[in-house]
Amino acid sequence: MMSAPIPVGISACLLGAPVRFDGWHKRFDFAVDQLAPYCHFQPVCPEMAVLLPVPRPALRLVNAGKQGIRLCASNGSGIDVTDEILAFSEQKMASLSDLCGFILCAKSPSCGMERVKVYGS
Ligand code: SF4
């Protein structure tokens, strides 16, 4: 008997969705081809969720001193989406409590969990 698929969150670009800043994806073949039959993937793209367009300026983490680490556009336009992304994350977390795991896009300033470069520090 096949057991129920495992609920797993995943950065949407890893599933092949063209949601990256440059209009491309970052398909993670192992997840899409090998894990998909066993998992119920719940894709999340925080940048799309706060209505950033595609394409859009790449974002980066910036050490803003007393204001802490901010999530800003890398093109010097002054765009700062820290508050929007944090608000989205707070609200989204409640609906993710049933997940057994999460596959996050490495090094992403929005999704990355570690090894994310912080500029100006
Ligand atoms: S915010 Fe996350 S899901 Fe969206 S494109 Fe960037 S790494 Fe992928």
Ligand 1 pocket, CB under 6 A: 11-13, 19-20, 45-47, 105, 108, 110-111
* pTM across the whole model: 0.94
The residue whose C-alpha atom lies closest to atom 5 belonging to ligand 1 is: 20
Q: Which two tokens stand for residue 96?
A: 């993710």
Residue to mutate (ligand 1; options 48, 89, 105; most atoms within 8 A of CB): 105
CA distances from 85 to 23, 40, 115 (A): 19, 24, 19
Q: ω into residue 57 within 30 of 0, thus cis?
A: no
The mean pLDDT value for 7-29 works out to 98
Q: pLDDT value at position 3?
A: 86
The predicted-structure confidence for 31-90, as pLDDT tens digits, reads as follows 999 999 999 999 999 999 999 999 999 999 999 999 999 999 999 899 999 999 999 999
Give the Cα separation of 111 and 57 in Å (integer): 16
Give the percent of the chain with pLDDT over 70.
Answer: 98
Domain boundaries, the chain: 6-55+83-115
pLDDT above 90 (res 121): no
How many CA atoms lie less than 13 Å away from 59 in the CB half-sphere?
Answer: 25
